[in-house]
Amino acid sequence: MNFLRKIKSRLFRILKSENKISPLEYWESRSKRYGARAVLNLAIKEEEEQSFRKKQIAAIFPHLRKIIRQNDVVLDYGCGVGRFTVGLQKLTEGKVVGVDPIQRFLDMAPKAEHISYLKLKNGILPLEDNTIDIIFICLVLGGIPDSDIGFALKELSRVLKSDGGICLVENTSAYTNHNRWTNRSAQQYKALLPWINLEAVAAYKELEDDITIFVGRKLP
């Protein structure tokens, strides 16, 4: 019993200390501890990572193909270690820009022709207005708290061209939110992006999570 109490006490201290740090500090710490695996649900076994990624691409990219055009400039928002960035470049055959606030992730991202990586600082995208044709976001917005989500989406709207499109993939499970992740419903995401005719076009399971795929174009 003493052993169990010690374990519980240690877990409580860890969770309490995590609650005191900012989201950026949390992801910096996570990147140091887990490396490239930090961007994943850690319940996914290491030997299953590639099969999970292939399943994600098989589920998401057919819907992305419906809105992406040849030579579109694509923004991979919250690209992490660039798990999808090279695939995005192959789809458009144009320029892809990956952005993330964690430099350690960007340093691990694969390098390729027509791909560049930029660091997101204070939520501000280091891009000019109306320069992006397609924004790709995969399991990123759930990591942005409600207090910061409005500014993040305002920045995305700023850089997206008037006829630009979005492919958004997010956890829409109904269970209680983790202290570092916010699950929002499909209706909540539609409400957060009123400047996009956002439609939920498909869904898939990731372990026990319900993942929804949205696509849409910027409204006039």
DSSP state of 126: S
Q: What is the reported pLDDT for 8?
A: 43
| Domain over 2-217 is classified CATH 3.40.50.150 | yes
Q: What is the reported pLDDT for 21?
A: 83
**φ, ψ dihedrals at 173, nearest 5°:** -60, 150
**φ, ψ dihedrals at 31, nearest 5°:** -65, -35
Q: What crossing angle do the helices spanning 85-92 and 49-65 adopt, rounded to 10°?
A: 30
Q: What is the reported pLDDT for 14?
A: 46
Domain boundaries, the chain: 2-217
In angstroms, the Cα distances linking 163 to 138, 141, 160, 166, 199 are 21, 22, 8, 10, 16
Q: What is the reported pLDDT for 80?
A: 97
Whole-number Å distance between alpha carbons of 34 and 174: 27
**For the chain, which ranges sit under pLDDT 50?**
1, 3-17
Residue recorded with tokens 């174009």: 217
Q: What is the reported pLDDT for 176?
A: 66
User: Residue 209: CA atoms inside 13 Å, Cβ hemisphere, count?
Assistant: 23
Letter for the amino acid at 39? V
CA proximity to 203, closest of 174, 172, 181? 172
DSSP state of 40: S
Pairing of strands 199-206, 160-171: unpaired
Token couple for 157? 């709207």
- What's the pTM value of the predicted model, to 2 decimals? 0.89
Q: What is the reported pLDDT for 180?
A: 84
